[in-house]
Amino acid sequence: MLRFDNVSKRYVTGLDVLAGLSFEVAAGEMVFVTGHSGAGKSTLLKLVGLLERPTRGQVHVDGADLARVRSRGIPYLRRRIGMVFQDHRLLLDRSVFDNVALPLLITGTPRGEIARRVRAALDKVGLLARERAAPQMLSTGEQQRVGIARAIVGKPPLIIADEPTGNLDPQLSVEIMNLFAEFGEVGTTVLVASHDLFLLKRMRKRVLVLDHGRLIDDFRPGEAA
């Protein structure tokens, strides 16, 4: 589903954020990326969604070599990736329903189907009753769940999340992570960047550990213990 071949990224400032990174993620797998801040977690996710391009090496997503995806093709790649952000990035002037409907509106989904799928996605994150609410009226945890509903509404084969629980308390974090784990069980590949070691141990999923842009460990907590 996702393959990195000897990927390096150097920013114009001369800073090497990723160096010789190689790993593979199978379809339906849930993987955490961890490391201290500045280790390259965010950059790794940005390369997957083509927010950045690698300086060297190749990234393959769902069989596609991203180096061969030109600017015009980027939107179509991103439609196959559900992105979840730490600060949820909801549009505050629209209702919960309209926020979740946005990816479907972009792909030109028929209106009847939009309503059906938005409600299904909101139901999955437990916010069906709040569809008319404005994002500001929701709690931080609820806002993040709306962000997740927006990421899954288009049924993407891959979900990437950058510190999705960074602003949440431990209880809510576990809830959100369990939600991601559920998607993995239905065949969606999930890649989550997180520095919350307690949470990683608890989830018992594969963990990639980055340090100064290098992959220094690739393990599953359950096995190690």
Least distance (Å) from another protein to the CB of residue 26? Answer: 17
Burial class (CB in 10 A: 0-12, 13-18, 19+), 165: buried
Token readout for 217 is 């460990």
Phi-psi region of 64 (alpha: psi -120 to 50; beta: other; left: phi over 0): beta
> Cβ(10)–Cβ(171) under 8 Å?
no
Distance CA 108, CA 201 (A): 41
Q: Which stretch binds another protein (CB under 8 A): 22-30, 35-43, 67-75, 186-194?
A: 67-75
- Tell me the sheet residues that pair with 16: 10
Extract the tokens encoding 221.
């907590």
Is 35 or 135 the residue whose CB approaches another protein more closely?
Answer: 135
Residue window 34-63: x/- pattern of binding to another protein, with contact defined by CB under 8 A:
---------------xxxxx------xxxx
Among 41, 78, 117, 206, binds another protein (CB under 8 A): 78
Residue whose CB is less far from another protein, 111 or 132 = 111
Q: Which stretch binds another protein (CB under 8 A): 13-21, 74-82, 190-198, 206-214?
A: 74-82
Which residue carries 């890649």 as its tokens? 191
**CA separation for the pair 157, 4 (Å, rounded):** 17
- Which CB, 36 or 89, lies closer to another protein? 89
| Interaction residues for another protein, span 88-107 (CB under 8 A) | 89, 91, 102-103, 105-107
Q: Is 14 in the site for another protein (CB under 8 A)?
A: no
Please give the residues from 110 up to 139 whose contact with another protein meets the rule CB under 8 A. 110-111
Binder of another protein out of 71, 185, 186, 223 (CB under 8 A): 71
The letter for the amino acid at 114 is I
Angle at 190 between CA 189 and CA 191, to 5 degrees: 125
Query: According to the binding rule CB under 8 A, does residue 150 interact with another protein?
Result: yes
Interface positions with another protein (CB under 8 A): 49-53, 60-65, 68-80, 83, 89, 91, 102-103, 105-111, 150, 154
